[in-house]
């Protein structure tokens, strides 16, 4: 019986990791004034994305979403980053927001590379920060090892997906079962970029101790913010004032004010 259960979990595990919304999403211009609908070419897949440029800005933020929903949930964050003076690219991974394909660790990494390449090619964009949330933080860490950003913001990051799974499924041999592993703890020490880690001290999905461990393994310059009383999907960890204030100070210091030189 246990063998059958393990076989089922192994076969269906990605359904327990990725929770995409099927789409469609609204036009970018209906979300924020001046928004542009764009299409990314990710190894042959055409992925929908939104670009929210700030006129005269030389800085941009690439947002790597978490494992649920679609880019429309990150529109308030994009609006806040725009107000700080930074252009923003929101994109959906394969299988999310009406995009073709099925999500996987390798697939999300490929999609993030496509998004970064598109953003880096935009006229006037000279410095790019990555903002990764939860599982997207692991995507951003891997991307940063290949294409270092000017600054890296990780919200509710974890050490590895196996560590998170072990918290929620302690009766299963998850370290042997997992196909997608997202081993951020093995990658973070290779980075030499300014880092900001933000976590909620009541996070019931990614325990704060995992975010703290990842932070402790990283190289300076780095800064850690624990948001008191915040759970994983609380507004405080989406666009809360403490989070936004910290992000603005961090990006101003390492990315710049965003005006063309």
**Mean pLDDT to the nearest integer, 189-217:** 98
Q: What is the pTM of this model?
A: 0.94
pLDDT digits (tens, 9 = 90+) for 33-48: 999 999 999 999 999 9
Q: What is the mean pLDDT of residues 213-218?
A: 98
Using alpha carbons, select from 149, 142, 153, 145 the residue that is nearest to residue 128.
149
Tell me the helix, strand and coil percentages in the chain, rounded to 5.
Answer: 40, 20, 40
The domains found in the chain, sorted by start residue, are 36-254 (3.40.50.1820)
pLDDT at 14: 82
**pLDDT confidence tier of residue 175, bands split at 50, 70 and 90:** confident
CA distance 42 to 33: 27
- Greatest alpha-carbon span in the chain: 66
């Amino acid at each position: 019986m246990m063998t059958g259960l393990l076989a089922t979990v192994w076969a269906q595990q990605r359904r327990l990791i990725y929770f995409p919304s099927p789409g469609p999403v609204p036009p970018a211009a209906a979300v924020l004034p001046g928004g542009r609908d764009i299409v990314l070419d990710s190894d042959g897949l055409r992925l929908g994305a939104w670009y929210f440029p700030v006129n005269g800005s030389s800085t941009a933020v690439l947002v790597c979403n978490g494992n649920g929903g679609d880019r429309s949930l990150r529109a308030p964050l994009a609006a806040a980053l725009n107000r700080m003076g930074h252009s923003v690219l929101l994109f959906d991974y394969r299988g999310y927001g009406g995009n073709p394909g099925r999500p996987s660790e390798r697939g999300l990494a490929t999609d993030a590379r496509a998004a970064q390449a598109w953003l880096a090619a935009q006229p006037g964009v000279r410095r790019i920060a990555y903002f990764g949330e939860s599982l997207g933080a692991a995507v951003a860490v891997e991307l940063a090892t290949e294409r270092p950003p000017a600054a890296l913001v990780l919200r509710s990051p974890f050490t590895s997906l196996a560590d998170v799974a072990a918290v929620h499924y302690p009766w299963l041999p998850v370290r042997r079962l997992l196909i997608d592993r997202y081993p951020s703890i093995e990658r973070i020490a290779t980075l030499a970029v300014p880092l900001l880690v933000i976590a909620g001290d009541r996070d019931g999905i990614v325990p704060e101790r995992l975010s703290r461990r990842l932070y402790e393994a990283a190289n300076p310059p780095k800064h850690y913010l624990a948001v008191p009383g915040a759970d994983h999907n609380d507004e405080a960890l989406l666009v809360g004032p403490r989070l936004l204030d910290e992000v603005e100070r961090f990006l101003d210091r390492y990315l710049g004010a965003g005006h063309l030189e």
